């Protein structure tokens, strides 16, 4: 090749390379020092988060569109007048405004998710470099109702706890990007319908709160499961928190007691030991036993609350006799006991769609001591979570068939069309029908004549089992003098519809499960079974707790016309009415407001109820 031609090619290539490098440097310089805020056109549009609804379609969580205020400090004229006016309008200290406006950043938030009045004042200032951006605020109409399940979001609308966290991508729509009507990419948020019933949840929470207050218990929980399907109708936990106001929340309020921290089930587990005997050593059911108030096993003395004397197996369950149960399980092979407990799901997560589930502890047989079989028969040396225990007893109510617990009914698009439905699933039969019916009959005895008498109802036949377990202290390595007190029951006994666990942590005066938890079970049954159409008391005056307060007060004297409004538009008005009149509002459906009660123009009174139907 000609030497001159070769040199020219080298020079041309070098020149081209230098030009590309210079263009690249200029681009970086412009990006770094430009006073303009350039937002990527590729970022999909935020359409808020999907609704969270109860099983009947009532909104438990919704998103409302608001304006947020931000600044490009390089564009703002930092006069004393501008800083003072921004401080006054936004309610932010002057020093904080100065700090934000002297930032080297090109984008700083001043105040997020403002009410309309504040936005109008900001706009009237007409300060260059102050901008607005549409954002969504998460609103929970029922305040703390089911907050332990629903969870909450952070300031950027990212799910941080509960369903909001576990299904964050689905609720935010970040699992699917579609083009909107302008052909611009947008996130597709989806709605989640829970199996929870807002009224049954409210009743469970109300009864829990009353008992915690009257007994000075540390905390409590109630699980209510539908027998034939495994659907969770209520999962109440107190104390709870209000996700609309996260400023004063303790770790104990956030902690989903009995679910994220496993506990020893105590004497409720005697029913499991009874089932193991019926399946493996039926001859033990025909024997008589002697309780002298204590029994010695491998140089360890285990006490009973009473000296029961001569006692049969059904009496052991009815009166919760430790000594009788320990004597009865002597012929039971430990491997058979272990395998039966595994069939009921102990020692493994149930897979329910709530984050943080504790696995519990069921040690393999090779790790058992000579005392373990006897300890397990009275609910020690094992730990369970509340969903595990409820699902296990639910199998007894369901003629021996185990239904996997679930709290999600379906996931839907904004037009209501389902993208995924959650159907009842079963692990199959874990015990035969005759054993299930015999175990249920023994639980009926507990309520009729045994330790669970306070769960007995004048309206329904109830079967159940009390439990009281001393809390194990990891600090001392020994059992403390504090209790976990519980009652697990099934109603109605002759045609089971619900299985319910009531559990309290550290009740005052070390109250037993029969004293503190059994009456709560009865009260909830007598308030919820009529609601489910099973007769009993008159429920015409049943009410659901009041909804959350609004953010801005308006002087409405009559009911405004909400027809045609979106959920965001209607919710702002409803929250104003809540603040002014303490109304309770209920929203159902999708789309825009198609019907309302009371009608537009009706005079409003304190504590009125407002019903909104979207179509």
- Res 549 pLDDT > 60: no
Confidence class for position 553, pLDDT limits 50, 70, 90: very low
Of 114-128, 150-164, 432-446, the one with minimum mean pLDDT is 114-128
Do the domain assignments include residue 536? no
Q: Which of 348, 312, 343, 305 is nearest to 327 (CA)?
A: 312
Helix (H) or strand (E) holding 532: none
Confidence class for position 312, pLDDT limits 50, 70, 90: very high
CATH (domain of 361): 3.40.710.10
Asked if residue 329 lies in contact with residue 337, where contact means CB atoms within 8 angstroms, the answer is: yes
pLDDT (mean) for 55-70: 90
Sign, Cα dihedral of 526, 528, 533, 539? positive
Residue range 12-44, pLDDT digits in tens:
777 777 888 787 777 776 655 554 444 445 678
Asked if residue 290 lies in contact with residue 315, where contact means CB atoms within 8 angstroms, the answer is: no
pLDDT (mean) for 324-336: 96
Q: Please report the pLDDT score of residue 35 as a whole number.
A: 47
Q: Which of 403, 407, 455, 356 is nearest to 201 (CA)?
A: 407
Confidence class for position 479, pLDDT limits 50, 70, 90: low
Q: Which residues pair with 214 in a beta bridge?
A: none
Q: What percentage of the chain exceeds 70 in pLDDT?
A: 90
Residue range 204-231, pLDDT digits in tens:
999 999 999 999 999 999 999 999 999 9
Of 30-39, 267-276, 569-578, 595-604, the one with minimum mean pLDDT is 30-39
Do the domain assignments include residue 574? yes
Distance from C-alpha of 397 to C-alpha of 344, rounded to nearest angstrom: 13
Q: What percentage of the chain exceeds 90 in pLDDT?
A: 59
- Res 180 pLDDT > 90: no
Do the domain assignments include residue 448? yes
More confident residue, 36 or 130: 130
CATH (domain of 583): 3.30.10.20
More confident residue, 78 or 269: 269
DSSP letter (8 states) at residue 248: S
Report the greatest alpha carbon distance in the chain: 117
Omega of the bond leading into 416 within 30 degrees of 0 (cis): no
**387 alpha-carbon distance from chain centroid:** 12
Residues 523 and 557 in one domain: no
pLDDT (mean) for 127-135: 88
Q: Which residues have a Cβ under 8 Å from the Cβ of 190 and sit 6 or more positions away?
A: 50, 170, 171, 173, 175, 176, 411, 412, 413, 414, 419
CATH (domain of 97): 3.90.1310.10
Residues 552 and 522 in one domain: no
Residue 427 backbone phi and psi in degrees, to 5: -85, 0
Residues 503 and 603 in one domain: no
**242 alpha-carbon distance from chain centroid:** 12
Q: Could you give the 3-state DSSP secondary structure of residue 313?
A: helix
Domain limits for position 83: 52-194
Asked if residue 436 lies in contact with residue 448, where contact means CB atoms within 8 angstroms, the answer is: no
More confident residue, 147 or 43: 147
Residues 107 and 186 in one domain: yes
Distance from C-alpha of 361 to C-alpha of 348, rounded to nearest angstrom: 8
Confidence class for position 509, pLDDT limits 50, 70, 90: confident
pTM score of the predicted model: 0.79
Residues 27 and 110 in one domain: no
Distance from C-alpha of 407 to C-alpha of 53, rounded to nearest angstrom: 11
Average pLDDT, the chain: 87
Half-sphere exposure for 229 (CA within 13 Å, toward CB) = 15
Q: Please report the pLDDT score of residue 522 as a whole number.
A: 96
Q: Please report the pLDDT score of residue 9 as a whole number.
A: 72
Tally of CB atoms within 10 A around 414:
16
Distance from C-alpha of 289 to C-alpha of 278, rounded to nearest angstrom: 16
Total domains in the chain come to 4
Half-sphere exposure for 239 (CA within 13 Å, toward CB) = 13
Do the domain assignments include residue 160? yes
Do the domain assignments include residue 249? no
Residues 221 and 152 in one domain: no
Do the domain assignments include residue 222? yes
DSSP letter (8 states) at residue 460: S
Asked if residue 521 lies in contact with residue 503, where contact means CB atoms within 8 angstroms, the answer is: no
Confidence class for position 476, pLDDT limits 50, 70, 90: low
pLDDT (mean) for 246-264: 87
Q: Which of 136, 155, 126, 133 is nearest to 39 (CA)?
A: 133
Residues 381 and 457 in one domain: yes
By residue count, the chain amounts to: 615
Distance from C-alpha of 125 to C-alpha of 130, rounded to nearest angstrom: 9
Q: Which residues have a Cβ under 8 Å from the Cβ of 560 and sit 6 or more positions away?
A: 573, 600
Residues 79 and 224 in one domain: no
Asked if residue 144 lies in contact with residue 245, where contact means CB atoms within 8 angstroms, the answer is: no
Tally of CB atoms within 10 A around 560:
17
- Res 460 pLDDT > 50: yes
Residues 76 and 107 in one domain: yes
Confidence class for position 248, pLDDT limits 50, 70, 90: confident
Q: Domain end: 499, 528, 557, which one?
A: 528
- Res 424 pLDDT > 50: yes
DSSP letter (8 states) at residue 229: T
Do the domain assignments include residue 539? no
Residues 24 and 77 in one domain: no
Asked if residue 594 lies in contact with residue 586, where contact means CB atoms within 8 angstroms, the answer is: no
Residues 101 and 207 in one domain: no
- Res 152 pLDDT > 80: yes
Tokens describing residue 387: 């969903």
Of 32-46, 336-350, 587-601, the one with minimum mean pLDDT is 32-46
Distance from C-alpha of 309 to C-alpha of 288, rounded to nearest angstrom: 10
Residues 181 and 230 in one domain: no
Do the domain assignments include residue 86? yes
């Amino acid at each position: 090749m000609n030497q001159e031609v070769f040199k020219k090619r080298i020079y041309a290539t070098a020149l081209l390379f230098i030009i590309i490098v210079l263009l690249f440097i200029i681009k970086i310089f412009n990006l770094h020092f430009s006073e303009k805020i350039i937002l990527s056109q590729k970022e999909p549009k935020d359409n808020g988060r999907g609704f969270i609804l109860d099983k009947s379609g009532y909104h438990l969580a919704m998103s409302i569109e608001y304006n947020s205020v931000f600044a490009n400090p390089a564009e703002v004229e930092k006069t004393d007048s501008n800083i003072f006016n921004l401080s006054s309008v936004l309610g932010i200290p002057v020093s904080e405004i100065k700090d934000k406006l002297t930032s080297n950043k090109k984008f700083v938030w001043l105040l997020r998710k403002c009410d309309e009045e504040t936005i109008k004042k900001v706009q009237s200032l007409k300060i260059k470099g102050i901008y607005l951006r549409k954002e969504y605020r998460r609103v929970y109409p029922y305040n703390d109702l089911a907050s332990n399940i629903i969870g909450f979001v952070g300031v950027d609308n990212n799910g941080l706890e509960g369903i909001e966290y576990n299904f964050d991508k689905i609720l935010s729509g970040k699992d699917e990007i579609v083009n909107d009507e302008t052909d611009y990419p947008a996130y597709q948020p989806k709605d989640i319908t829970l199996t929870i019933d807002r009224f049954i949840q409210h009743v469970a929470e109300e009864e829990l709160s009353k008992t915690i207050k009257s007994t000075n218990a540390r905390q409590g929980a109630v699980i209510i499961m539908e027998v034939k399907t495994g659907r969770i109708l209520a999962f109440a936990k107190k104390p709870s928190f209000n996700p609309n106001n996260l400023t004063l929340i303790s770790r104990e309020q956030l902690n989903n007691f009995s679910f994220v921290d496993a506990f020893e089930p105590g004497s409720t587990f005697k029913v499991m030991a009874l089932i193991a005997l019926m399946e493996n050593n039926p001859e033990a059911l025909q024997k008589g036993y002697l309780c002298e108030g204590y029994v010695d096993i491998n140089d360890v003395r285990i006490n009973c609350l009473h000296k029961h004397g001569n006692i049969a197996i059904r009496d052991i369950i009815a009166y919760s006799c430790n000594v009788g149960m320990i004597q009865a399980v002597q012929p039971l092979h430990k491997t058979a006991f272990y395998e039966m407990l595994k069939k009921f799901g102990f020692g493994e997560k149930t897979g329910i769609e709530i984050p943080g589930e504790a696995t519990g502890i069921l040690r393999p047989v090779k790790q058992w001591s000579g005392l373990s079989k006897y300890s397990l028969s009275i609910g020690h040396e094992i730990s369970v979570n509340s969903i595990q225990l409820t699902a296990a007893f639910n199998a007894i109510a369901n003629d021996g068939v185990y239904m996997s617990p679930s709290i999600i009914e379906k996931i839907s698009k904004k037009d209501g069309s389902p993208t995924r439905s959650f159907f009842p699933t079963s692990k199959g039969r874990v015990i035969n029908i005759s054993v299930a019916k015999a175990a249920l009959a023994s639980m009926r005895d507990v309520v009729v004549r045994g330790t669970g008498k306070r769960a007995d109802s004048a309206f329904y036949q109830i079967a159940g089992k009390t439990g009281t377990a001393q809390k194990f202290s990891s600090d001392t390595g020994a059992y403390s003098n504090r209790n976990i007190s519980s009652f697990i029951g099934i109603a109605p006994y002759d045609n089971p519809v619900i299985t319910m666990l009531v559990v309290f942590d550290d009740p005052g005066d070390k109250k037993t499960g029969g004293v503190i938890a059994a009456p709560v079970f009865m009260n909830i049954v007598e308030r919820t079974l009529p609601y489910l159409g099973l007769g009993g008391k008159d429920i015409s005056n049943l009410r659901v707790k009041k909804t959350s307060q609004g953010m801005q007060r308006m002087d409405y004297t009559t009911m405004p016309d909400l027809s045609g409004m979106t959920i965001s538009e209607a919710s702002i008005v409803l929250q104003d009415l809540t603040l002014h009149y303490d109304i309770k509002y209920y929203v159902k459906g999708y789309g825009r407001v198609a019907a309302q009660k009371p009608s537009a123009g009706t005079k409003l009174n304190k504590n009125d109820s407002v019903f909104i139907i979207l179509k």
